[in-house]
């Protein structure tokens, strides 16, 4: 598995998500940020929007659940058409059971960590997962500045993933741009969420290509 770019539609035009997805045909996934105004201080979209977009978009959907009680709600996002569902371990009551349920329903299971949450206590959980998401900003709002203090955690996550011998993806989300993606790739990330960098560009598809090329140049060196 090579570099993957997953643009966040949090920074897209919510009035026409189908057209926004069509502007980035080269994206590997569409990253959908689900916020409930409880786990994070923002309210965005839910399963019905993901279900509608999954029927018209050519890219698979990567649902990032920044919500309370993901144990209850995460399975419904698989049923809505998400190909990957990420829950925050800080909010999950039974993360192993939840990851297994997501996988059993046919989606990739991913665990997200807020910037202050260490990866080490969850090493034994890694075999139950398909991806780990390291947040490089505090979750809740797009357009935030990248937190360099998260780079050591990305490196530790990469080491733990490699030690498991599995094929987990290591995703980063928050402040990813041409200026920061190189540092993330050097630290071991291979899957990148970029919102404002993509949809704030004059040519979003060209930005997707540039982000991929920049990260790939590091990974291949």
Task: List, by residue number, the catalytic residues.
Answer: 33, 173
Q: Are 41 and 68 in contact (CB under 8 A)?
A: no
Which of helix, strand or coil describes residue 35?
strand
Side-chain-side CA neighbours of residue 170 (13 Å): 21
Spatial distance between the Cα atoms of 136 and 149, rounded to a whole number of angstroms: 8
E-strand stretches of the chain:
4-7, 30-35, 61-66, 84-88, 108-113, 131-135, 169-173, 191-194
Spatial distance between the Cα atoms of 74 and 95, rounded to a whole number of angstroms: 11
Which of helix, strand or coil describes residue 36?
strand
């Amino acid at each position: 598995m090579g570099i993957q770019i997953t643009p966040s539609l949090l920074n897209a035009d919510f009035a026409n998500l189908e057209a926004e997805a069509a502007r980035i045909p080269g994206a590997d996934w569409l990253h959908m940020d689900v916020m409930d105004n409880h786990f994070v201080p923002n309210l965005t979209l839910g399963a019905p929007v993901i279900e509608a977009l999954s029927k018209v978009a050519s890219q698979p959907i990567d649902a990032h659940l920044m919500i309370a009680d993901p144990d209850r709600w995460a399975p419904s996002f698989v049923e809505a058409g998400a190909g990957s569902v990420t829950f925050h371990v800080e909010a999950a009551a039974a993360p192993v059971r939840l990851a297994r349920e997501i996988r059993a329903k046919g989606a990739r299971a991913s665990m997200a960590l807020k910037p202050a949450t260490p990866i080490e206590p969850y090493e034994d959980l890694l075999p139950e997962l398909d991806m780990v998401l390291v947040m490089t900003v505090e979750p809740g709002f797009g357009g935030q500045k990248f937190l360099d203090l998260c780079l050591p955690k990305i490196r530790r996550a990469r080491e733990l993933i490699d030690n498991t011998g599995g094929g987990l993806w290591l995703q980063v989300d928050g402040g990813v741009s041409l200026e920061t993606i190189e540092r993330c790739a050097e630290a071991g990330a291979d899957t990148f969420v970029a919102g404002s960098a993509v949809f704030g560009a004059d040519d979003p598809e060209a930005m997707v290509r540039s982000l991929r090329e920049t990260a790939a140049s590091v990974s291949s060196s």
